[in-house]
Structure 1
Amino acid sequence: MIADPIRDAEMPPADETRLVGPAAPSASAAPNAPTAPSEDGPSLAPGTVVLHTYRITRLIGRGGMGEIYQAEHCDQRTLHAIKIIRPDLVGDESIVSLFLREAGALRKIRHAAIVSYDGLFRDATGRLHLVMEYVDGPSLRDRLRQGPLAPHEIAQLRDRLAAGLAEAHDKGIYHRDLSPDNVILEHGLLERAKLIDFGIARFADPSMRTLVGSRFAGKLSWASPEQIGLFGAQVDGRSDIYSLGLVLAAAARGRPLEMGKTMMATVEARKTTPELDGVPPGLVTQITRMLAPDPRDRPQSMRSLVDEAQPDRSRWSALLRSRPVQGAALLLALAAGAGLWWWSGSDIPPATSTPALLMSAPPGAAEPAQKLDREQLPRILRLAPAEIFAAGQRFLTEQRDADTALVLWEEASRRGSGDAAFGLAQFYDPNVRTTGPNPFSAPNPTRAREFYALALQRGIGIARARLQALDNAESAR
């Protein structure tokens, strides 16, 4: 079922949305007559026809401002979700503004990962009805009750939600209320996840005033530091990146991070990057970047997350069709147990997470537990970044396949691996490559700086010294 997206705009009493089960039909109610609102029951009974078009099927959820129903189009027999203002709040202009803003946001965004807008209507009494696509499936919060997602499932969820949010951000719309109960998994499929509830979305257009202004909006456990007034209190797309990081961490752990239940605890928790205990190592680097307290230290756009996550298939095909590296002498400096490079001075750390599929054989074994070849690349690509990086190490050391190793490291770097970014920097760094030719490229200090900076941003501290060495070499010329 689609989760209830209606709540108090300023400060919800709790971080969980109240959900209620389907309402039972009233035997005495006329088919087209709404029931009187009650403390516990819905204001519309199943069978009620609204707007002369939609027949109410059941109540999905209720909140402090309204109700959301499943309804069937009387003629087309299609299912829809209809959000309706509570009868006693029809004249409340602040509530009306929320509905109008959500409708305006959804109307502008057309993306498979965003619930579709079907129209905004008023009935004869002036009561607003926001008609949306009905998404049949559980919320991400419901799914996580079954346990954490696997790394490749988290990557799938990240790619889907980031792509939808990137489209919203391109339209100048920032969600501000990302949480697992605002992510619906159509038919239970992660690849068909959809975002709902743009009721407190912020618009980049200054003429589109936000009801809550500079006051808190959203849910405490999932809010960014700037939503609660820290780091300049400027809410933009980077705020959604932070909240998405919290959602991904919860998906990886099967439970949310402890980010505070009161305002004071929430503020304190937002001053430092949270500990990501329980998050698989291959995901830690990117989620850590997303959860940087200062928005300037996070990825600067949702589009950059999408670009990192989406492999360039044509680039892969071209590189893997390229002529293999000629001359085994180029790789003779690879010493077992001593390093992975044909140049001196390499100190790239080993991969932090290597699954059994990618592990080498124990010492003394004649062959690896499972020999790698390029036919396994589709499976490797579904792994976490650190695991892709580890596969590249094996291709280089075991297969002497430097082409594939480089491609895997580039892919791991695009997906957030600091180790891979550091390794790629060394391909280009003239200070590091001192004992032999690089089979891929000529020295390129500019490219080396780019990758070292990326590695430093992702927590590889030694990259700072390498950047300084490049600067010193440049000054000495």
Structure 2
Amino acid sequence: MDGVVICRICGQGWTGAAPGDRCPTGDGGVLIAQAVHEKFFSDSFIGRAVAGKYVIIGKLGEGGFGSVYRAIQEPVGRTVAVKVIASGEANDEELRGRFFREARVVSKLSNRATVTLHDYGEDDDGTLFMVFEFIAGRLLADLIAEGPMAPARVVGLVQQVLGACAEAHELGLVHRDLKPGNIMVSEGALGTEEVKVLDFGIAKVQNPDGMDDVRTREGVVLGTPRYMSPEQSQDARLDGRSDLYAMGIILYEMLVGRPPFEGDVPFDILLAHI
């Protein structure tokens, strides 16, 4: 049944309509492609209009701090990426506090290499959400998987990431999860490669006195072992230098085609960094 779209509320199929349209029955349901409906039926966010205007049409992945979806912003029809934290998790007061504090800081980032935050807030049911620009490109991780990269290309990409980090650090924001899977590379208007740093979702905000704003439970270390600095793996105080350490690991991996420390056990990788 090519061209069939399904209502996420009543489950009825329709032809002659497009994904993102509202159900002709008037029940308010959003129509999604049949294949998407079958694949993501168990995902309650697919087809939902977050904040009444960001219509979720597909899942992009899991971030360090919630799930990320592709959505259409009504009524303008703009494609965006929406990160959500379900209402059950959002009841955690520590998490809520960290979410809003970080969103306020991330909203101030304006570097061309930083993904733009358009909106954030809390839906009627308690779901927390951030709305980012949607980037069409390839993850740096996929480019690295093709083999070592030319030094000149590496320099051009790394310079852009460092520019994004410099602005964030000036605002007291430490990314904490820089890795090839959080760096998107797309083609610019002049055919050059442009970088976007994604997922400030587990970022840490530093207070004006230089002390970390600790919003994680004791004993829980957030990040990706392959790229974590020694101080981060030991849950010690962090600043922008932890991001620079991660960039050193990424730089090595771009040039060589593999990270300096590998292993099947995350703890062993953490020890190798110390």
When normalised by structure 2's length, the TM-score is 0.77
Correspondence for 1:85 = 85
- For 2:212 and 2:46, the matched residues in 1 are separated by 39
List per-residue Cα deviations over 1:199-219 (Å, max 9, x = no partner): 221222148433246752201
Question: Counterpart of 2:193 in 1: which secondary structure?
Answer: helix
CA-based RMSD: 3.1
What per-residue deviation string (whole Å, max 9, x for no partner) do you get for residues 352-380 of structure 1?
A: xxxxxxxxxxxxxxxxxxxxxxxxxxxxx
Instruction: Give the match for residue 256 of structure 1.
Output: 259
Structure 2 counterparts to residues 217-228 of structure 1, below 5 A: 217-228=222-233
Aligned residues: 244
What is the identity, as a one-letter code, of the residue corresponding to 2:143?
Answer: R
Aligned equivalent of 2:17: none
1:201 correspondence with 2:181: no
In structure 2, the residue matched to 1:392 is none
Q: Secondary structure at the match of 1:257?
A: coil
Residue 153 of structure 1 corresponds to 153
Q: Which runs of 5+ in 1 are unaligned?
A: 1-23, 272-477
* Partners of 1:117 and 1:57 in 2: CA distance: 19
Q: Encode CA deviations 1:242-297: one digit per residue, 9 max, x unaligned.
A: 100111111112222224553542343124xxxxxxxxxxxxxxxxxxxxxxxxxx
| Higher normalized helix content (fraction of residues) | 1
Shift of the alpha carbon at 1:129?
1.5
Distance verdict in 2 for CA 1:229–1:40, change over 3 Å: farther
Structure 2 equivalent of residue 326 of structure 1: none
2:141 aligned residue: 141
1:119-268 correspondence to structure 2 within 5 Å: 119-187=119-187, 191-205=193-207, 206=211, 208-212=213-217, 215-229=220-234, 233-262=236-265, 264-268=267-271
What secondary structure is seen at the aligned counterpart in 2 of 1:108? coil
Of Structure 1 and Structure 2, the greater strand share is in 2
Q: Does the 8 A contact of 1:175 with 1:200 survive in 2?
A: yes
Are the counterparts in 2 of residues 220 and 260 from structure 1 also a CA contact under 8 Å? no
CA deviation vs aligned residue, 1:165-203 (integer Å, no higher than 9, x gap): 011111111111111101111349873111111122122
- The 1-side partners of 2:216 and 2:238 are apart by 14
| 8 Å contact kept, 2:225–2:270 | no
Cα 1:262–1:194 shift into 2, 3 Å: same
Q: Secondary structure of 2:184's match?
A: strand
Q: Confirm or deny: 8 A CA contact 1:65 1:95 kept in the other structure.
A: no
1:158: Cα distance to partner? Answer: 1.1
Q: Which residues of 2 match residues 275-286 of structure 1 at below 5 A?
A: none
How far apart, CA to CA, are the structure 1 residues paired with 2:64 and 2:267?
A: 24
Shift of 1:87: 4.2
The one-letter code of the counterpart of 2:50 is: V
Shift of 1:86: 2.4
The Cα offsets for residues 48-103 of structure 1, whole Å up to 9 and x where unpaired, read as: 33322222232212468632111122122222111111243232334334432431
Partner of 2:58, secondary structure, is: strand
TM-score, normalised to structure 1's length? 0.46
**Secondary structure at the counterpart of residue 154 of structure 1:** helix
Question: Which residue number corresponds to residue 66 of structure 2?
Answer: 66
Following the alignment from structure 2 to structure 1, what is the Cα–Cα distance between the partners of residues 171 and 126?
A: 29
Q: Which amino acid aligns with 2:240?
A: G
Is the CA contact (8 Å cut-off) linking 2:187 and 2:193 kept in structure 1?
A: no
What's the % identity of the aligned pairs?
Answer: 30
Per-residue deviation, 1:25 = 6.0
Q: How far apart are the structure 2 equivalents of 1:94 and 1:227?
A: 20
Please give the alpha-carbon distance, in whole angstroms, between the structure 2 residues aligned to 1:238 and 1:151. 23
Query: In the alignment, is the contact (CA less than 8 A) between 1:117 and 1:132 conserved in 2?
Result: yes
Name the amino acid aligned to 1:239.
S
SS in 2 for 1:192: strand
Paired amino acid for 1:256: P
8 Å Cα contact 2:102/2:204 also seen in 1 = no
Specify the code of the residue in structure 1 equivalent to 2:251. L
The answer to whether the 8 A contact 1:259-1:270 is kept is: no
CA distance in 2, matches of 1:153, 1:207: 35
Q: Distance in 2 between matches of 1:103 and 1:124?
A: 18
Spell out the pairing of 1:382-401 with structure 2 (5 A cutoff).
none
Specify whether residues 62 and 33 from structure 1 end up closer, same or farther in structure 2 by C-alpha distance, changes over 3 A only.
farther
* Distance (whole Å) between structure 1 residues aligned to residue 225 and residue 212 of structure 2: 27
Question: Which residue does the alignment assign to 2:9?
Answer: 29
